């Protein structure tokens, strides 16, 4: 089944404790992104990647890091989480160019709480 998976689905942590949220897709997509969803704000892009070793900042990158060492994986790293990073996080992937019809496929989400 074609899908984007995220782990963990739920995470409660404390301020300053480094964490990684994994994202993996099995569709051989070139593009991958991370978004965060906050009530009343919709979804905002954190980082995106156009291919292996190619990443760039989205609209709200502060406090986050990403890496793209393999095509299928795009982990989100919070080196020193803070309470304002409590949010619902989504990973997404898409095919490059018009053959993918510009559709992004979303993972199930990771609910992160930082106390």
Partner 1 sequence: AQSVTQLDSQVPVFEEAPVELRCNYSSSVSVYLFWYVQYPNQGLQLLLKYLSGSTLVKGINGFEAEFNKSQTSFHLRKPSVHISDTAEYFCAVSGFAQAGTALIFGKGTTLSVSS
List residues near partner 1 by CB under 8 A.
31, 33, 35, 40-45, 48, 50, 58, 90, 92, 94-97, 100-104, 106-109
Nearest to 108 by CA among 13, 33, 3: 3
Q: How far is the CB of 80 from partner 1 (least distance, A)?
A: 26
The span from the CA of 115 to the CA of 102, in Å, is: 37
The span from the CA of 94 to the CA of 47, in Å, is: 14
Q: How far is the CB of 62 from partner 1 (least distance, A)?
A: 17
Q: Which residues contact 3 (CB under 8 A, 6 or more apart)?
A: 25, 26, 27, 105, 107
Q: How far is the CB of 106 from partner 1 (least distance, A)?
A: 4
**CA 78 from chain center: how many Å?**
11
Q: How far is the CB of 40 from partner 1 (least distance, A)?
A: 6
The span from the CA of 58 to the CA of 44, in Å, is: 8
Considering beta carbons, is residue 75 or 107 the nearer one to partner 1?
Answer: 107
Considering beta carbons, is residue 72 or 100 the nearer one to partner 1?
Answer: 100
Considering beta carbons, is residue 35 or 75 the nearer one to partner 1?
Answer: 35
């Amino acid at each position: 089944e074609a899908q984007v998976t995220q782990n963990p689905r739920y995470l409660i942590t404390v301020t300053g404790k480094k964490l990684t949220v994994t994202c993996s897709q099995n569709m051989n997509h070139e593009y991958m992104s991370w978004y965060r969803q906050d009530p009343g704000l919709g979804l905002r892009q954190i980082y995106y990647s156009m291919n292996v070793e190619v990443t760039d900042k989205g609209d709200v990158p502060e406090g986050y890091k990403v890496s793209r060492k393999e095509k299928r994986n795009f982990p989100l790293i919070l080196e020193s989480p803070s309470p304002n990073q409590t949010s619902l996080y989504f990973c997404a992937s898409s095919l490059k160019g018009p053959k993918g019809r510009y559709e992004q496929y979303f993972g199930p989400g990771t609910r992160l709480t930082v106390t």
